[in-house]
Amino acid sequence: MTFQISKHRVFVIALFVMASVSIHAQQPSMRALIGQSLSKIQQPTPEAFLNCIAEMKRIDAMFPDSIQPKYQMALQSLNFSVMNPQAPQTESLLAETEQTITKIEQMNLADQSDICTLRGFLYMVRIVQDPARNGQRYYLDVMQNYEKALKLNPDNQLAKQLQQKFFEGMQQQTGK
């Protein structure tokens, strides 16, 4: 009699373990979700960026303690904004991006180099929106943030690329 009870318990425990493993296997990892979302931006259209940003917001809601969805949400919002500086969504995206950067800053494991890169990119977008008015206002902020990002992490490729684009844009503006 006790043999059947323990056999029954073992079966229930095994079933429970299999069910929990199956549930976890069905939930894609955060990195996989982010990768799927980013892969949809092969054609950098405004709609593709807006869809990606919406997906990043959904992933961020699923993983609120993770930095990566917030970082990608901010980065894709800035990419959209720099390509579409006068689009109706740009101002609200930039306001959300500022809030997101602040949230990332408050997280313990946040990479300070990445935060500086995002801040520099945010100021760079402001310059692109209105170079005559915002150029002098944000020029120093862009420079300082990229320099700090590269001082903290000399291998930060995004900071290097954005700083280079910024220099090229400034040379074009002064060369006119």
In this predicted model, what pLDDT tens digit does every residue of 31-50 receive, in sequence order? 777 776 666 667 778 888 89
Percentage above 90 pLDDT, the chain: 62
Handedness of CA 70, 72, 73, 78 (dihedral sign): positive
Q: Specify the DSSP element, H or E, that contains 143.
A: helix 131-152
User: Do the Cβ atoms of 37 and 55 come closer than 8 Å?
Assistant: yes
Q: Is the pLDDT of residue 134 over 70?
A: yes
pLDDT for 93 beyond 60 = yes
Report d(CA 80, CA 90) in Å as an integer.
Answer: 8
Whether the per-residue pLDDT at 28 is higher than 70: the answer is: no
Q: Where are the alpha helices (DSSP H) in 27-130?
A: 30-39, 46-62, 67-83, 90-105, 112-129
86: which residues sit within 8 A by CB, 6+ positions away?
129
Count of Cβ atoms closer than 10 Å to residue 119 Cβ: 23
Q: Output the pTM of the full model.
A: 0.79
pLDDT at 176: 56
Tokens encoding 47: 């709609």
